[in-house]
């Protein structure tokens, strides 16, 4: 079997592997001497793959594996018996060994991502060079929190679940102009509800009463800026009947108690699942009131609560990322599709991108007034451009599609930060950096607690020359985002590179798990060039030449598409040159973009 270059392969080849192809690949792996795994490890692999193909990925837990594969009895305790974790590690190493030796040209890659036991299937030979690098030197990795591990597992489950619903086969999109007949009412899908209860003042002083009312209102206001959930006050929920409504999506109650002792404030908050009364999250916030205005304290605490709960990778995402797959309604399907977008953001895989874009097309077809759906769809079109994930080479340019979807999102909801994020990036990749940053500043002012936007806006600022402020915002996003932040860590690697700290840039870039993303490999190539690590640079170039040859042939243009100032471009290109990439050809990409501005709706 010969290995084809991506630009020589038809668009159909980017479709997710079929069940038959995956089973054939499994049989090939198990029959190969290079798959050095004992019989029970092979049974482990076969079990998790078949469960996934049968749309039972949500049942793949340590307990079920121990019972079904290893013959443990019902008293099995994963905390005290590590057999499943040990065997999973053995299977991962055996798979890496197989693809390193015998499977380098196999059409299907099978992996078991760390943090869970659900397998992932990728078309093409997308084995990363990290495997080869780890064979010769120790791996560098940043610690991943437990919440990040949960999020990654939930994201993988969502993508698998969307495929199990058959969305990839039956989803179709009406024309983006909106003239087609929608298959649903002209509405937006339901979202998880959060009822903010009236906070309890347990001190009973005029000051504490004032603070309690102010903090109650501020939390509602800060959380309502996130459009992935629906926030209502207790009074409004009772009046509208929402508190007793039946929905496939979760309904939570946020409760709070305030104690004011001299100049010391303690705010205790908890999130309760109204379905069963389970406490999903709880946290205590302390603040000193000395020389601080009440409004400053309210803003600070409410911002922390909103960030923890309401952002796309927050507590509410973690609490229901998997359970929505069991809900049959179109509302649940639309919400699951939105969550799957953020799952895709965890690793930026081409396969996940295709599946997520397909389901988002269906969402906006069924719910044409769903601004967030249009915004996320716009971002997937932009990824076709910036990551070369082109799905249909014969179709309209992805930037044009991104612009149309961003326009629609902003028209529907001018205050939707995700819509403004899509508008900002559309301007940026069109070459209109001034308008891009103006939109970004407006969106940041609307919701500075949205870490997904903060990081993206910070990266645009940095690439435009404001490295100090931009990199500061990226760092803030990394620190406050409980979800997968590898994309923003890669951005921090660029920050360190431009600051001349190539050692730290390498540490960060090598810790990033974006092995299917060409920009990640381009960043590593430049870093290795500056570090004089020519062997590692050659491995990165080899990956790019096989998987994204345009990043090698047009390296200067790819840099100019992203980095604004000429001196910054030359600094990055210097690393590519030292890595052995010919960057002598210069096309007038950015000037061409600036000469053809596009009118985006500003709301």
Domains of the chain by start residue, with CATH = 6-127 (no CATH), 148-181+329-429 (1.25.40.10), 193-319 (3.30.160.180)
Average pLDDT of every residue of the chain: 81
Q: What percent of the chain has pLDDT over 70?
A: 79
Q: Are 325 and 336 in contact (CB under 8 A)?
A: yes
Q: pLDDT per residue over 215-262, tens digit each?
A: 999 999 999 999 888 898 776 555 455 544 445 677 899 999 999 988
Q: Are 520 and 494 in contact (CB under 8 A)?
A: no
398: helix, coil or strand? helix
**CA gap 150, 145 in Å, rounded:** 9
The dihedral over CA atoms of 453, 600, 222, 150, expressed in degrees to the nearest 10, equals -40
**CA gap 331, 335 in Å, rounded:** 6
Structure-model confidence comparison of residues 130 and 469, the more confident one: 469
**CA gap 85, 77 in Å, rounded:** 12
**What is the pLDDT at residue 563?**
94
- Ramachandran assignment for 415, one of left (phi > 0), alpha (psi -120 to 50 degrees), beta (any other): alpha
pLDDT band at 284 (very low <50, low <70, confident <90, very high): very high
- Give burial (CB, 10 Å; 0-12/13-18/19+) of 63: middle
Mean pLDDT computed over 106-126: 79
**Stretch (H or E) spanning 549:** none
Residue 355 has pLDDT above 80, yes or no: yes
Mean pLDDT computed over 546-553: 89
Q: pLDDT per residue over 47-68, tens digit each?
A: 999 998 888 887 888 888 988 8
**CA gap 429, 519 in Å, rounded:** 15
- Which phi and psi angles does 416 have, rounded to 5°? -85, 115
Residue 123 has pLDDT above 70, yes or no: yes
Beta-sheet pairing, 230-233 with 279-288: unpaired
**What is the pLDDT at residue 182?**
38
**What is the pLDDT at residue 545?**
92
Q: Are 156 and 113 in contact (CB under 8 A)?
A: yes
Mean pLDDT computed over 268-283: 91
Mean pLDDT computed over 564-584: 93
**What is the pLDDT at residue 335?**
85
**What is the pLDDT at residue 192?**
87
Residue 299 is encoded by which pair of tokens? Answer: 């803003």
Residue 132 has pLDDT above 80, yes or no: no
- DSSP state letters, 92-135: HHHHHHHHHHT-TT-SEEEE--TTSS--EEEES----HHHHHHT
pTM, whole model, 2 decimals?
A: 0.70
Q: Are 484 and 346 in contact (CB under 8 A)?
A: yes
**CA gap 543, 536 in Å, rounded:** 11
Mean pLDDT computed over 567-579: 96
Least confident of 40-44, 343-347, 503-507: 343-347
Q: pLDDT per residue over 172-197, tens digit each?
A: 334 443 433 334 445 788 888 899 99
Q: Are 390 and 351 in contact (CB under 8 A)?
A: no
Q: What percent of the chain has pLDDT over 90?
A: 43
């Amino acid at each position: 079997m010969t290995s084809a270059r991506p630009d020589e392969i038809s668009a159909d080849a980017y479709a997710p592997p079929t069940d038959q192809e995956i089973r054939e690949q499994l049989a090939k792996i198990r029959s190969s001497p290079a798959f050095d795994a004992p019989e029970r490890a092979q049974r482990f692999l076969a079990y998790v793959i078949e469960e996934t193909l049968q749309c039972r990925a949500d049942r793949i837990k340590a307990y079920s594996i121990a019972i079904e594969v290893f013959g443990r009895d019902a008293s099995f305790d994963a905390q005290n018996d590590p057999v499943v974790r040990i065997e999973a590690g053995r299977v991962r190493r055996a798979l890496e060994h197989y693809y390193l030796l015998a499977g380098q040209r196999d059409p299907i890659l099978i992996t078991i991502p760390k943090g869970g036991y659900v397998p992932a299937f990728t078309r093409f030979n997308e084995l990363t060079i990290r495997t080869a690098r780890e064979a010769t030197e120790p791996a560098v990795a940043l610690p991943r929190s437990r919440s990040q591990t949960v999020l990654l597992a939930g994201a993988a489950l969502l993508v698998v679940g969307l495929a199990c619903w058959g969305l990839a086969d039956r989803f179709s999109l009406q024309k983006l102009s909106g003239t087609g007949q929608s298959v649903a009412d002209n509405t937006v899908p339901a979202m998880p509800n959060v009822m903010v209860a009236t906070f309890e003042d347990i001190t009973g002083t005029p000051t504490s009463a004032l603070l309690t009312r102010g903090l109650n209102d501020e939390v509602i206001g800060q959380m309502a800026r996130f459009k992935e959930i629906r926030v209502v006050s207790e009074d409004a929920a009772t009046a509208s009947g929402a508190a007793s409504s039946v929905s496939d999506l979760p309904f939570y109650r946020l409760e709070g108690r305030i104690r004011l002792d001299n100049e010391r404030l303690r705010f205790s908050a908890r999130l309760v699942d109204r379905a069963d009364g389970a406490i999903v999250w709880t946290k205590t916030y302390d603040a000193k009131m000395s020389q601080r205005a009440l409004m400053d304290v309210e803003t600070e605490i409410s911002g922390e609560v909103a960030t923890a709960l309401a952002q796309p990778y927050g507590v509410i995402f973690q609490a229901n990322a998997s359970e929505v797959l069991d809900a049959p309604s179109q509302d649940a399907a639309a919400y699951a599709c939105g969550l799957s977008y953020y799952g895709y953001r965890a690793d930026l895989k081409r396969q996940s991108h295709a599946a997520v874009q397909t389901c988002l097309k269906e969402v906006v077809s069924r719910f044409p007034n769903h601004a967030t759906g249009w915004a996320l769809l716009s971002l997937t079109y932009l990824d076709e451009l910036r990551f070369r994930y082109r799905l249909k080479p014969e179709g309209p340019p992805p930037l044009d599609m991104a612009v149309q979807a961003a326009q629609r999102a902003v028209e529907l909801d001018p205050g939707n930060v995700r819509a403004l994020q899509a508008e900002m990036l559309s301007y940026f990749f069109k070459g209109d950096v001034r308008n891009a940053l103006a939109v970004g500043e407006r969106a940041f002012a609307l919701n500075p607690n949205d870490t997904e936007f903060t990081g993206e806006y910070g990266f645009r600022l940095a690439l435009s020359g404001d490295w100090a402020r931009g990199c500061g915002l990226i760092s803030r996003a990394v620190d406050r985002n409980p979800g997968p932040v590898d994309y923003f860590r890669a951005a921090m690697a660029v920050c360190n590179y431009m600051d001349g700290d190539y050692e730290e840039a390498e540490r960060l870039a090598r810790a990033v798990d974006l092995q299917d993303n060409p920009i990640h490999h381009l960043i590593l190539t430049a870093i290795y060039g500056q570090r004089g690590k020519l062997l590692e640079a050659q491995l990165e170039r080899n990956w790019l030449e096989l998987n994204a040859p345009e990043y090698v042939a047009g390296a200067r243009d790819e840099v100019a598409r992203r980095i604004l100032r000429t001196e910054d471009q030359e600094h990055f290109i210097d690393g590519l040159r030292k890595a052995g990439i010919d960057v002598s050809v210069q096309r007038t990409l950015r000037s061409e973009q600036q000469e053809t501005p596009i009118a985006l709706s500003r709301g």
